[in-house]
Structure 1
Amino acid sequence: MFLNRIKSLITERQPDSILWNALKQGDRRAFAELYERYYRTLYNYGYKLMPDTALVEDAIQDLFVDLWRIQQNLGEAESVKFYLFRSLRRKIHRLAEKENRFLSVDLLTSPFRSDTTPEHQITEQEHEQQLVRQLAQALKQLPERQLEVVMLRFYENFKTGEIAAIMGITDKSVRNTLHKAMTHLRENARYLAPFLGLLLFFF
């Protein structure tokens, strides 16, 4: 047990801030760890902005090449995730020749739980899966900017100021856009009350 504890400490996930500072010192392993840690998340976000696999992959590669190239000039990053999202968005817009658009929406993790019979659990699971699909459809009907704000706020857990910096808009615009999105969902997707209740709790 003691040896297992030592092993877990050795292999413990390093905080982003530690890896970032190590990257600034030229640590290749820290660079590789950040790449592996964020590649999939960045790809998912980038593909929502521009559903072009090659373009998104090129943007991510360019982003990390730049990180390594300017490593010694990197500043402090309170949130590495925020820095990477903002940088990727800028690169995608530079690479893209047309307006960004959303063609896919990740599904929310279901908030439902059940301690009843297996048959009842199956019924509830089918019901919540239907709600998840309906929520995805409702989100796809939002204007592009509203959808991006919702995704960054509720799926990626960014704060208002961070969303504003990522998208290049003001804090007030973020709040107004989020308000419009939630109003639209309330008015046009009343059957999604279980999910909207969770979102509105944070809103």
Structure 2
Amino acid sequence: MKTKILQTPFDDITLWTNLKEGDEKSFSLLFERYYRDLVNYGNSLSPFAEKVQDCIQDVFTDVWVYRNSLQGSVVVKAYLLSSVRKRIARLHERDHIFRKAASTDSVAFLLKFSVEHELIDDDDDTTRAKVTHLNELLNNLPVRQKEALYLRYHQGLTVEQIAEMLDVNYQSASNLLYRGLLTLRKEWKGTFSIIALLSSSTF
């Protein structure tokens, strides 16, 4: 049996390496660690909660069944999110829920951002009106921009990882983020950081 690569006992790299070697506990820990994030993201791409959960289960089943052929060096969270997105896209094609397509463009980001008034320590009516307007701006962004912002500031993915997930090049992913932020910054005149608001918003 191979010697296990240890960084910290439960970091993603160690768990992934041990999973590839057949360690069921590491597999279970990764499932528990990322299941909720995957459900939230899956629900942003499909209104059918049960089918989303089935897709996530299928992704983890494939991870376990095909563990010997998995890449050894991956960013686990990004890999799982991407796998769920692709699985949901295939489901949409098969069931004709949305237009038939040959790529992950067949899914659309459905979640609505909600920046809470309580995040801003200001009871001024003008500020509250601005927050309400900011929420409208966020949710009226093109869906690809909105999804890119979600992946960057809620899921903590890099631009490279977002590009891979959305099946675009690095510059296109960077442009999605830039244009989304530019639209928001043009309208937001408050002192609170737009990025901080995005990171703390709910759905």
Name the TM-score class by shorter chain. 0.7 to 0.9
Q: Which of 32, 39, 46 is the matching residue for 1:36?
A: 32
> How do 1:60-75 residues align onto structure 2 when only pairs under 5 Å count?
60-75=56-71
Instruction: Name the amino acid aligned to 2:60.
Output: F
After superposition, give the CA deviation of every residue in 1:23-70 in whole Å (9 maximum; x if it has no partner): 101111111111111000011111112222022111101100100110
Q: Structure 2, unaligned stretches of length 5 or more?
A: 1-7, 99-105, 199-203
Structure 1 pair 58/131, CA: closer, same or farther in 2 (3 Å)?
A: farther
Which residue is 2:180 aligned to? Answer: 181
Q: Which of 107, 112, 119 is the matching residue for 1:105?
A: 112
Distance 2:126 2:16 in 1: 43
> Cα RMSD (Å) of the superposition?
3.0
Instruction: Name the amino acid aligned to 1:103.
Output: L
Distance 2:89 2:70 in 1: 22
CA deviation after TM superposition for structure 1 residue 106, in Å: 5.2
> How do 1:4-153 residues align onto structure 2 when only pairs under 5 Å count?
14-96=10-92, 97=96, 98=98, 99-105=106-112, 107=114, 135-153=134-152
Q: Structure 1, unaligned stretches of length 5 or more?
A: 1-11, 114-119
Distance 1:40 1:16 in 2: 16
Which residue is 1:9 aligned to? Answer: none
TM-score normalised by structure 2 residue count = 0.75
TM-score normalised by structure 1 residue count = 0.75
After superposition, give the CA deviation of every residue in 1:84-118 in whole Å (9 maximum; x if it has no partner): 111111111001131423332355697657xxxxx
Distance 1:181 1:165 in 2: 19
SS for the counterpart of 2:192 is: helix
Higher helix share: 1
Instruction: Note if contact 2:55-2:88 (Cα within 8 Å) is conserved in structure 1.
Output: yes
Which residue is 2:192 aligned to? Answer: 194
Instruction: Note if contact 2:19-2:67 (Cα within 8 Å) is conserved in structure 1.
Output: yes
Which residue is 2:102 aligned to? Answer: none
